Amino acid sequence: ATPSEPYDAIIIGGGPGGYVAAIKAAQHGLKVRPLSTDVLYPLSFSGVSLNLPQMLKAKEDAVTTLTKGIEVLFKQNKVDYIKGTASFVSPTRLSVQLNDGGQTEVEAKNIIIATGSEVTPFPGGAIEIDEEQIVSSTGALELKKVPEKMVVIGGGIIGLEMGSVWSRLGAQVTVVEFLGAIGGAGIDEEIAKQFQRSLTKQGLKFMLNTKVISAEKKDGKVFIKTEGAKGGKEETLDADVVLVAVGRRPYTEGLNIEKAGVELDPKGRVVIDDQFNTSVKGIKCIGDVTFGPMLAHKAEEEGQSILEIRPHRARTRELSRHSSVVYTHPEVAWVGKTEQELKAAGVEYKIGKFPFMANSRAKTNLDTEGLVKFITEKETDRILGVHIIGPNAGEMIAEGVLAVEYGASSEDIARTCHAHPTLSEAFKEAAMAAYDKAIHF
């Protein structure tokens, strides 16, 4: 198709949601064209090397390889794509400022908004990100040398992942968190406590129930003012580098979304129904820019679901089925409900836990920190949540997601044979502990 011919679908955004939707649509015979400014992918890495330039180069190479891989998939699936910035002219027409200069217009019956999110700036402009001394996650992945002292504002996933990377490379890291626990939304309180203990052992310092109010650059340092979350107890910290990790927000800037008549909620999220339809017919939306957790795999799943052509298999949004993984060491991963959520909802539940200390593979690997925790409905034994801290938690949680997705009980898992010697035996034994009793603990 030439740019002037209408497409079946145009996808705005080439991130994990957009590119998956594009490939799926092309596989189903639609003529599609994603528009992207940059293919951005949240990236986590862990490193012990002191050769920082080499480590950063390895990261760059990985990003390039992954990005190129997507372009190859586009070619294989005959997906057209334009690199540029799109803005709505009408509900079916977009004007695109091309990255290589110039401008074009494209039209389609269906448009999918998959523009993602951006770093939330510090409220009130009290802290300005320069990506050198005061950095967001972007700058934190590109520091030219290991800072002696680093202060991380926000103990959510980004703050902990980035903070623990630089701590491992030798920085003295202090995390300031407004809430009484680390790990961000959705983490089980018991796991969060153990997580904090593990990171503290590694040398990270935590100031909980503490709010950062400002940060000022002076004489090559940054001075950070904090106070108690409920006021009082002011303190000033100094650092060589400050990481601002206080969340991300939906990204719709420049999209001229009002022109199309698409409704946003007060948080700036695109409002959708449970079939991903926005308030305007023909315009759908997926990923970080709409409801739900801001996770690459959640966006990918939605990109796939949105184009499901077999109506009996069409999926609606089901938020509890996305796992969360914190790529630190030990890793932390979970799916479903937390104990505190169930308590608050008055649900009667049972707990089954198994420590990696009692797992033969973890012992052999000398990597025994952590545990697997199952939460089941007391009356039915149905699995409501699985929470893991420990080796390979991010891989292991896939079995938890499968269990929750298929409505499994802890007995189902407990009666499923898991190979010996593997870490996954800890998963089975935690299920056994919920259903009956574990063998090895």
Catalytic residues: 420
Give the count of residues interacting with ligand NAI (CB under 6 A).
28
**Binding residue for ligand NAI, selected from 56, 73, 141, 179, defined by CB under 6 A:** 179
CB-based contacts of 208, cutoff 8 Å, min separation 6: 155, 177, 179, 180, 181, 182
The bridge status of strand 331-336 relative to strand 134-135 is: unpaired
- Between 118 and 411, name the residue whose CB sits nearer to ligand NAI: 118
CB-closest chain residue to ligand NAI? 156
- Between 245 and 285, name the residue whose CB sits nearer to ligand NAI: 245
Q: Does 242 bind ligand NAI (CB under 6 A)?
A: no
From CA 59, how far away is CA 50, in angstroms rounded?
14
- Between 178 and 223, name the residue whose CB sits nearer to ligand NAI: 178
From CA 183, how far away is CA 193, in angstroms rounded?
9
Please check if 101 is assigned to a binding site: no
Q: Does 387 bind ligand NAI (CB under 6 A)?
A: no
Min dist CB 297 to ligand NAI, Å, is 8
Min dist CB 59 to ligand NAI, Å, is 14
Please check if 116 is assigned to a binding site: yes
Q: Does 393 bind ligand NAI (CB under 6 A)?
A: no
- Between 169 and 246, name the residue whose CB sits nearer to ligand NAI: 246
Please check if 296 is assigned to a binding site: yes
CB-based contacts of 276, cutoff 8 Å, min separation 6: 284, 285, 286, 290, 302, 305, 306, 317
Please check if 319 is assigned to a binding site: no
Contact 266, 286 (CB under 8 A): no
What residues between 280 and 319 interact with ligand NAI by CB under 6 A? Answer: 293-295
Mapped onto helix, strand or coil, the DSSP state of residue 280 is coil
Please check if 188 is assigned to a binding site: no
The type of residue at 162 is M
Estimate to the nearest angstrom the gap between the alpha carbon of 224 and the chain centroid.
27
Per-position x/- string for 187-226, each x denoting binding to ligand NAI as judged by CB under 6 A, each - no binding = ------------------------xx--------------
- Between 239 and 326, name the residue whose CB sits nearer to ligand NAI: 326
Q: Report which of 112, 118, 121, 117 is spatially closest to residue 86, judged by C-alpha positions.
A: 112
Name the segment binding ligand NAI (CB under 6 A); options: 61-69, 78-86, 97-105, 175-183.
175-183
Min dist CB 290 to ligand NAI, Å, is 13
Mapped onto helix, strand or coil, the DSSP state of residue 223 is strand
Q: Find the helix or strand (DSSP H, E) in which 67 lies.
A: helix 52-76
Contact 331, 137 (CB under 8 A): no
Please check if 125 is assigned to a binding site: no
Please check if 160 is assigned to a binding site: yes
From CA 177, how far away is CA 54, in angstroms rounded?
32
From CA 106, how far away is CA 31, in angstroms rounded?
13
Backbone dihedral region for residue 368 (phi beyond 0: left; psi -120 to 50: alpha; all else: beta):
alpha
**Binding residue for ligand NAI, selected from 40, 106, 112, 158, defined by CB under 6 A:** 158
The type of residue at 107 is E
Residues in contact with ligand NAI by the rule CB under 6 A = 42, 44, 153-159, 161, 176-179, 184, 211-212, 245-248, 293-295, 324-327
Name the binding residues for FAD: 115-117, 288, 294-297
